[in-house]
């Protein structure tokens, strides 16, 4: 039994190494081809048929190579996500607009619930997830008639965990809101080819069940497998439903809605997990207002906006934790000395511009002063300083 497991592990390692080497060797000439098309576009019309064909196929090959590289990272346990606060509704609109040129014969019909909360996500990784479910919804459905467009329906809604499939009924993370933001995608044309015997096969790389019709279309069958791994890193889920009433398979992606405290813990844990080298420090500034400092005239949002004006980098995040009343500033790639300067500037500005706002504060840097989110927060809360 152990010998069989060892052989299996060795086979995965060999595949991972092979994918990594081949992907790296292909990436350089592909980049050269794409750069050459840019140079050629200055000498021939941009809409030249052959130039477009070269660029289109080089970009397709580049996407394939990138997917192979990502699968090799999954095999090696080296897939990383960099979480930030994300407006999923706006993100989805931008991604779908970017995908339109690749959805020939299809139009997108988007429906989004009002006033949806934000989630934690990696913009780059989640771009792949949205691409995967939308393009595969088109890929595994019939082609529309010539000179006509078929609809791909995309929905974004807030769903309680009880409404998810039973295998996903355990909510993610700490205090848990028990709610998920769910993106659902479905082609309005019938599916093409045979359905897999078990839908889980859709999310396994290089599965053999795909028939000749679907093999003709773009991709190696790793896009959905990679999407599954990315969502796992987000504490999220992906699944598909069988086609009904002449429509295509329905793909779903669920991301957990977290309390602000859980968001802070999740983002901080992610930063510490991915920290490598001296430039990967993460610093926290925590402000705890004294009782009565918040009021109807001066709500927490007013103080958060005042702090936001003093931050210069889009990667810095502010979390108001309602349970504790604390305001936490998370600063990426920020060592202790830099964090101290930012803290002094914020503390001094609040003292001058918000009279009557009394608070204590603390600053801490990881992984120097703690290798986990819990350690850093505990250390900071044990070293309060008076505000000005």
Whichever domain contains 315, its CATH number is 3.30.70.270
CA separation for the pair 260, 120 (Å, rounded)? 10
Q: Are residues 223 and 350 in the same domain?
A: no
Q: Are residues 49 and 189 in the same domain?
A: no
Residue ending a domain, among 19, 51, 75, is 75
Q: What is the pLDDT of residues 160-176, one digit of tens each?
A: 988 888 888 665 544 45
Q: What integer pLDDT is reported at residue 369 of this predicted model?
A: 86
The answer to whether the beta carbons of residues 261 and 321 sit under 8 Å apart is yes
Which one, of 90, 256, 80, 251, lies nearest residue 168 by Cα? 256
Q: Are residues 95 and 241 in the same domain?
A: yes
* Beta carbons within 8 Å of 179's beta carbon, 6+ residues apart: 158, 159, 160, 161, 256, 257
Number of other residues whose CB lies within 10 A of the CB of residue 36: 14
Residue ending a domain, among 199, 227, 257, is 257
Domain harbouring 191, CATH code:
3.30.565.10
The answer to whether the beta carbons of residues 62 and 34 sit under 8 Å apart is yes
Residues in the chain with pLDDT values less than 70 = 1-24, 46, 72-78, 169-177, 193-199, 206-221, 275-279, 388
Q: Are residues 115 and 169 in the same domain?
A: yes
Q: Which domain holds residue 248?
A: 84-257
CA separation for the pair 344, 366 (Å, rounded)? 19
Q: Are residues 19 and 165 in the same domain?
A: no
The answer to whether the beta carbons of residues 317 and 267 sit under 8 Å apart is yes
**Which tokens in the block code for residue 33?**
């081809």
* Beta carbons within 8 Å of 239's beta carbon, 6+ residues apart: 165, 168, 199, 251, 252
Number of other residues whose CB lies within 10 A of the CB of residue 266: 20
Q: What integer pLDDT is reported at residue 165 of this predicted model?
A: 87
What is the tally of structural domains in the chain? 3
CA separation for the pair 295, 302 (Å, rounded)? 10
Domain harbouring 51, CATH code:
1.10.287.130
Q: Are residues 253 and 267 in the same domain?
A: no
Q: Are residues 71 and 98 in the same domain?
A: no
Number of other residues whose CB lies within 10 A of the CB of residue 121: 25
* CA quadruple 315, 98, 129, 32: dihedral sign: negative
Q: Are residues 224 and 271 in the same domain?
A: no
Q: Are residues 247 and 215 in the same domain?
A: yes
Residue 328 β-bridge partners: 286, 319
Residue ending a domain, among 227, 257, 287, is 257
Q: Residue 13, CB half-sphere, CA atoms under 13 Å: how many?
A: 6
Q: What is the pLDDT of residues 257-279, one digit of tens each?
A: 988 888 888 888 888 877 655 55
What's the farthest any 2 CA atoms get from each other in the chain?
Answer: 72
Question: Where does 161-262 show beta strands of DSSP type E?
Answer: 179-187, 237-241, 250-257
Q: Are residues 125 and 252 in the same domain?
A: yes
Q: Are residues 197 and 310 in the same domain?
A: no
Q: What integer pLDDT is reported at residue 212 of this predicted model?
A: 47
Q: What integer pLDDT is reported at residue 361 of this predicted model?
A: 94
DSSP result, 17-58 = HHHHHHHHHHHHHHHHHHHHHHHHTTTS-TT-HHHHHHHHHH
Q: Are residues 231 and 164 in the same domain?
A: yes
């Amino acid at each position: 039994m152990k010998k069989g497991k060892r052989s299996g592990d060795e086979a995965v390692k060999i595949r991972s190494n092979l994918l990594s080497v081949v992907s790296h060797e292909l990436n350089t000439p592909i980049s050269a081809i794409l750069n050459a098309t840019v140079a050629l576009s200055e000498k021939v019309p941009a809409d030249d048929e052959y130039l477009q064909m070269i660029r289109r196929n080089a970009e397709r090959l580049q996407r394939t190579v990138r997917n192979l590289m990502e699968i090799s990272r999954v095999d090696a346990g080296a897939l990383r996500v960099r979480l930030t606060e994300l407006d999923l509704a706006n993100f989805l609109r931008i991604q779908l607009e970017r995908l339109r040129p690749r959805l020939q014969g299809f139009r997108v019909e988007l429906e989004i619930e009002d006033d949806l909360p934000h989630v934690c996500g990696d913009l780059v990784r989640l771009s792949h997830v949205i691409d995967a479910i939308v393009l595969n919804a088109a890929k595994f459905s019939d082609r529309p008639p010539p000179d006509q467009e078929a609809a791909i329906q995309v929905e974004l809604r807030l769903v309680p965990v009880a409404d998810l499939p039973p295998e996903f009924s355990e909510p993610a993370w700490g205090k848990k809101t028990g709610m998920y933001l769910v993106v659902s995608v479905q082609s309005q044309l019938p599916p093409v080819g045979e359905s897999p015997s078990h839908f889980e096969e859709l999310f396994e790389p290089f599965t053999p069940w795909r028939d000749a019709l679907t093999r003709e279309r773009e991709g190696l069958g790793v896009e959905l497998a990679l999407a599954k791994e990315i969502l796992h890193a987000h504490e999220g889920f992906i699944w598909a439903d069988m086609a009904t009433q002449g429509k295509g398979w329905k793909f779903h992606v669920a991301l957990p809605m977290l309390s602000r405290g859980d968001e802070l813990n999740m983002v901080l844990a992610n930063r510490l997990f991915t920290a490598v080298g001296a430039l990967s420090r993460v610093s926290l500034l925590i402000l705890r207002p004294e009782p009565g400092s918040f009021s109807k005239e001066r709500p927490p949002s007013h103080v958060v906006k005042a702090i936001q004006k003093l931050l210069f980098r889009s990667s810095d995040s502010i979390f108001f934790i309602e349970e504790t009343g604390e305001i936490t500033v998370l600063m990426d790639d920020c060592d202790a000395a830099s964090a101290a300067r930012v803290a002094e500037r914020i503390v001094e500005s609040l003292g001058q511009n918000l009279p009557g706002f009394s608070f204590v504060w603390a600053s801490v840097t990881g992984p120097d002063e703690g290798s986990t989110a819990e350690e850093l927060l505990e250390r900071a809360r044990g070293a309060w300083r008076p505000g000005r």
